[in-house]
Structure 1
């Protein structure tokens, strides 16, 4: 009986993961407003009620997709154990990683633009996320300055906001150039110009 429960649980988690993957792809293709739960269910080979068993609303599914992306990126960045220049280097490495996953970049770019509308279901999520991202970048610059690695005249608060804006702008250029834009290369050059040590 316990083995059956475990198998059922594992199967449910696998299906949930498949739903998140398909939703991520469709939200990236069509945006939040253009995506249909019925289409996502069909892509996963389940019924619409079957999908609603895992995610009762479209909003809950979108939030789960975005949080899943943040969780994966957070683990990869391991920001808790990197500081200063090492943390800034990680931002460039994240850009390189994003160049290998177009679907995720499309999702973030499309939905973050849609979510500027105050009535969008994930507007608050993106407000919090950007505040967190900018403060994280500012902290990295502040730590780099404490390490003696930041060029004179670089303000950590301004540099943090610029870094996040540059990353997002590069993602748009990369999508429109069909991958020709070197996101990581541009980001490394920008960071290197602000530092007194090799990135």
Structure 2
């Protein structure tokens, strides 16, 4: 990415993690971490709440007490993964404007240090295309929101106002990021997600700026 387009680096992963407040929030975070691992390993339908409870050091009833249902837990896991406020835990600060492009690269780099989170996202997003999946609308809206935010940011950074070009660029960037995660999970030594996403973003910025 060109130096003139670079923005101040966002806080490191350790500075942006969700912080629990009190024993109840700590229990909820423990459940969310356990559920992310179980859903990532087995998917939503085959992932059992009993195993989530065992990993969290709680009873099945205890998990339901905090999240109400398996579907409620799934939605909470997805929100937690995205850094949104959930179950008494603080949300991550949202990044806007040109700094969002730097944030994308920081997030990709951060993801290389948390394969379990990447696996859970990849499995659940793939499952969500099936009929009646409880996370389908969540992923549909998440991708729509992400694409629109990328479009706005690219327009601001490059000065390009062509809706079709901006939409194609946003779709390309999202496709590269999600596709790379699958490749990286299967062959981590052969895929450099951060470098590839940066090169893709640089090419998109150059193309949009020259148009």
Confirm or deny a common fold (TM above 0.5): yes
In structure 2, do the counterparts of structure 1 residues 126 and 179 end up closer, same or farther at CA, with 3 Å as the change threshold?
Answer: farther
Given the alignment of the two structures, is residue 174 of structure 1 paired with residue 184 of structure 2, yes or no?
yes
TM-score (norm 2): 0.78
| Residues 67-126 of structure 1: CA deviation (Å, up to 9, x unaligned) | 1111269736x323xx23x32232122111111110110010000000011300111111
TM-score (norm 1): 0.83
User: Is the CA contact (8 Å cut-off) linking 1:134 and 1:164 kept in structure 2?
Assistant: yes
Given the alignment of the two structures, is residue 120 of structure 1 paired with residue 133 of structure 2, yes or no?
yes
Cα distance in 2 between the residues matched to 1:56 and 1:123: 19
Task: Give ranges in structure 2 of 5+ residues lacking alignment.
Answer: 1-20, 86-90, 207-211
Moved over 4 A (4+): none
> 1:180: how far off?
3.5
Q: Which residue of 2 aligns with 1:102?
A: 115
| Equivalent position to 1:61, from 60, 64, 73 | 73
> 1:163: how far off?
0.5
| Equivalent position to 1:130, from 143, 146, 149 | 143
Q: Which residue of 2 aligns with 1:160?
A: 170
Task: Give ranges in structure 1 of 5+ residues lacking alignment.
Answer: 1-8
Q: Which residue of 1 aligns with 2:95?
A: 79
Cα distance in 2 between the residues matched to 1:167 and 1:106: 13
Cα distance in 2 between the residues matched to 1:30 and 1:36: 9
User: Is the CA contact (8 Å cut-off) linking 1:99 and 1:179 kept in structure 2?
Assistant: no
| Equivalent position to 1:23, from 32, 35, 39 | 35
Q: RMSD of aligned C-alpha atoms?
A: 2.3
- Of the structure 1 ranges 109-118 and 173-182, higher mean CA displacement relative to structure 2 is found in 173-182
In the TM superposition, what are the counterparts of 1:26-37 in structure 2 within 5 Å?
A: 26-37=38-49
Q: Which residue of 2 aligns with 1:141?
A: 154
Q: Which residue of 2 aligns with 1:3?
A: none
Alignment: residue pair count: 180
| Residues 162-192 of structure 1: CA deviation (Å, up to 9, x unaligned) | 1111100010010010354100100111111
| Equivalent position to 2:203, from 162, 169, 193 | 193
In structure 2, do the counterparts of structure 1 residues 105 and 52 end up closer, same or farther at CA, with 3 Å as the change threshold?
Answer: same
